[in-house]
C-alpha cells in the first residue's frame, strides 16, 4: 500500500502522447461485440487484473463512438454499472479502455442453465439490480439501448453488473450520433 501520494509512480505518458503498452500486459480475448473486443489484461502498476476493450476497426466513426462509450461509462458511477478505470492508446495508436474485470457469467448463461421456471425465479434479484442500474443511468440522461441478458454479468459474489454501453445515448448531449456500424434497436 502506498501511503504517501508523492511516492506514486508518475504518469505513464506525457500529455497529448500515446500511453505506453508497458503498463498493461494484454491477454486473451473473452468477448467480442459489434464495435470491439474485450480481453483480460494485467495492470502492472496496480497489480490487478482488468478487462480491456479495444476497437475491432479503427475508422474515425468507430473511434468517435468508442470515445462516447468510454465517456458515458466513466460518468455512470453505480455499483451495478461496470466502472471504467483508464483510457489509453497502444503504441500503434489504437484506443482502448480498462474496466473492472467481473468474473462470472452473463445472465443469459444463467437463464439457460435453469430450464425450470422455479429455478429461474432465483434470478429475479439480478434483473431487479440491473433495472436499478439502468434507472440510475436514466436519471443521468443515459439510455443503454442494448439491454439484454447477455449484457448483464452475474459476478462470483452474486453482483449484477450492466455492461456494454456501446449503443448508449446521452440525452443531455443533443448532438448528432456517429454511425456505429451496428443496427440500432
Active-site positions read: 146
* Residue position matching grid coordinates 470491439: 36
Longest CA span, the chain: 57
Nearest C-alpha neighbor of 142 from the set 86, 76, 84, 83? 76
Residues 28 and 52: beta-carbon distance below 8 Å? no
CA separation for the pair 5, 78 (Å, rounded): 26
CB count in 10 Å sphere of residue 4: 6
Residues 99 and 83: beta-carbon distance below 8 Å? yes
* Residue position matching grid coordinates 451496428: 182
Amino acid at each position: 500500500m502506498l501511503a504517501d501520494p508523492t511516492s506514486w509512480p508518475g504518469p505513464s505518458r506525457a500529455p497529448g502522447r500515446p500511453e505506453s503498452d508497458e503498463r498493461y500486459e494484454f491477454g486473451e480475448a473473452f468477448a467480442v461485440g459489434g464495435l470491439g473486443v474485450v480481453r483480460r489484461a494485467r495492470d502492472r502498476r496496480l497489480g490487478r487484473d482488468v478487462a480491456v476493450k479495444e476497437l475491432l476497426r479503427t475508422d474515425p466513426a468507430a473511434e468517435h463512438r468508442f470515445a462516447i462509450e468510454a465517456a458515458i461509462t466513466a460518468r455512470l458511477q453505480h455499483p451495478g454499472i461496470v466502472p471504467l478505470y483508464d483510457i489509453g492508446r497502444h503504441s500503434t495508436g489504437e484506443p482502448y479502455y480498462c474496466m473492472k474485470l467481473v468474473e462470472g457469467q452473463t445472465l443469459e448463461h444463467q437463464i439457460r442453465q435453469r430450464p425450470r421456471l422455479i429455478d429461474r425465479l432465483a434470478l429475479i434479484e439480478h434483473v431487479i439490480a440491473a433495472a436499478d442500474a439502468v434507472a440510475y443511468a436514466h436519471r443521468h440522461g443515459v439510455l443503454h439501448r442494448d439491454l439484454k441478458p447477455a449484457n448483464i454479468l452475474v459476478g462470483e459474489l452474486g453482483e449484477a453488473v450492466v455492461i456494454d454501453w456501446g449503443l448508449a445515448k446521452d440525452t443531455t448531449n443533443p448532438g448528432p450520433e456517429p454511425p456505429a456500424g451496428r443496427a440500432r434497436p
